[in-house]
């Protein structure tokens, strides 16, 4: 993979030098341009970039690549029959933080008309793929930029319901920009997704908030913070613990002691556990919660199962959380 990216970077550099040499119409620069063009051929730098929009006869107008399938699912529902959408990370057992892209991933991004990345330091590998196949014709939707968030913000924005709506709006707008003739089609897809598509998701959030606002819960990783706040739950875990788990850094002794005591002393009614990021500290608290008979609600970072839609995945997690809260209060 690294060699693939290095080759693309070499190709980009050679192309830039060709353009520079052609700006100066002298015999020497003409010779230099010829040499550089030969270098492009030797390096295997053929013409590449997004396919022209509307070039397919199948009805698919453009190609979209999402770095992760939680955004990819929403993108596919908004695209309908007008665009093909591929997600790179689809395996629930994959840790998106440390994912190593393949040459196939790089080719998919290079051929895309639009690429959706989460940003905020979450999927830096995706930015590398974009840099390796830079194209002014490609639309890049960076979720962190769309939301106007600074670096260092919690990157798990798909667990922030209001941010999900903002990203849906941004995807729709970019589709209309890529394919203006189908603008009304994309607007209708958006209305369907935000209405009946997310109806159960919205209803469960409202139900949990009305019944359990203020209930104390603990959580293993910062992925749950946005949803927990949206539900009105009292997040008891010191912020340093889930942040350290998410970023792969050491949890402080003070935070370890606090989280352990919250479980053993029944200061929390439910423990929320991200099964895609398990560390020794998280395993220890899981054991403490089980011993104390504190219900554990499991969540994941990406769609589980991989074939689920964004809303069916989130609904299943919310239903499990609702059951855990009911059990914890009893």
pLDDT tens readout for residues 246-256: 999 999 999 99
Mean pLDDT computed over 58-80: 95
Does the pLDDT value for residue 57 go beyond 90? no
Confidence of residue 329 (pLDDT cuts 50, 70, 90): confident
Question: pLDDT: is 215 or 94 the higher one?
Answer: 215
According to DSSP, the β-strands at 139-142 and 62-68 are unpaired
Alpha carbons 107 and 189: distance in angstroms, whole number = 28
Angstrom CA distances, 242 to 178, 264, 293, 301, stand at 39, 18, 21, 14
Quote the pLDDT of residue 135: 86
Quote the pLDDT of residue 55: 55
Quote the pLDDT of residue 88: 97
Confidence of residue 11 (pLDDT cuts 50, 70, 90): low
Alpha carbons 142 and 110: distance in angstroms, whole number = 16
Does the pLDDT value for residue 25 go beyond 50? no
Selection from 269, 324, 316 nearest residue 297 by Cα: 324
Confidence of residue 58 (pLDDT cuts 50, 70, 90): low
Alpha carbons 182 and 56: distance in angstroms, whole number = 15
Q: pLDDT for 40-50, tens place per residue?
A: 333 444 345 77
Residue pair 135/158 in contact by the 8 Å Cβ criterion: no
Quote the pLDDT of residue 48: 57
Quote the pLDDT of residue 32: 44
Alpha carbons 71 and 79: distance in angstroms, whole number = 12
Does the pLDDT value for residue 68 go beyond 60? yes
Give the number of C-alpha atoms closer than 13 A to the C-alpha of residue 64, restricted to the C-beta side: 30
Does the pLDDT value for residue 309 go beyond 70? yes
Mean pLDDT computed over 149-166: 97
The per-residue DSSP string of 43-67 comes to TT-----PPPTT--SSS--EEEEEE
Mean pLDDT computed over 122-141: 92
Quote the pLDDT of residue 71: 98
> Which 3 state secondary structure label does DSSP give 152?
coil
Q: pLDDT for 176-206, tens place per residue?
A: 999 999 999 999 999 999 999 999 999 999 9
Angle at 137 between CA 120 and CA 41, to 5 degrees: 105
């Amino acid at each position: 993979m690294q060699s693939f990216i290095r080759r693309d970077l070499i190709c980009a550099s050679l192309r830039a030098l060709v353009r520079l040499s052609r700006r100066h119409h002298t015999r020497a620069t003409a010779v230099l341009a010829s040499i550089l063009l030969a270098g492009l051929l030797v390096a295997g730098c053929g013409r590449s970039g997004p396919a022209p929009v509307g070039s397919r006869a199948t009805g698919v107008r453009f190609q979209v690549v999402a770095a992760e399938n939680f955004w990819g699912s929403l993108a596919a529902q908004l695209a309908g029959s007008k665009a093909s959408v591929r997600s790179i990370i689809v395996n629930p057992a994959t840790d998106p933080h440390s994912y190593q892209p393949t040459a196939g991933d790089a080719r998919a991004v290079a051929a895309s008309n639009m690429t959706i990345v989460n940003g905020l330091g979450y999927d830096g590998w995706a930015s590398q793929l974009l840099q390796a196949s830079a194209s002014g014709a490609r639309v890049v939707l960076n979720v962190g930029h769309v939301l106007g968030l600074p670096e260092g913000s919690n990157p798990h924005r798909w667990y922030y319901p209001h941010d999900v709506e903002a990203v849906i709006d941004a995807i729709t707008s970019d589709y209309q920009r890529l394919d203006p003739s189908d603008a009304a089609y994309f607007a209708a897809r958006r209305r369907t997704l935000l209405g009946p598509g997310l109806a159960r998701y919205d209803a469960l959030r409202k139900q949990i908030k009305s019944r359990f606002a203020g209930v104390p819960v603990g959580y293993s990783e910062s992925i749950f913070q946005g949803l927990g706040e949206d539900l009105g739950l009292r997040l008891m875990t010191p912020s340093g613990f889930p942040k350290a788990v998410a970023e792969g850094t050491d949890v402080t002794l003070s935070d370890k002691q606090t989280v352990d005591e919250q479980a053993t002393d029944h200061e929390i009614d439910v423990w929320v556990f991200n099964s895609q990021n398990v560390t020794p500290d998280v395993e220890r608290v899981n054991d403490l919660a089980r011993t104390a008979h504190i219900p554990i609600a499991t969540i994941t970072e990406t769609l589980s199962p991989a074939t689920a839609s964004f809303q069916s995945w989130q609904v299943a997690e919310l239903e499990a959380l609702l059951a855990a809260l009911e059990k914890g209060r009893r």
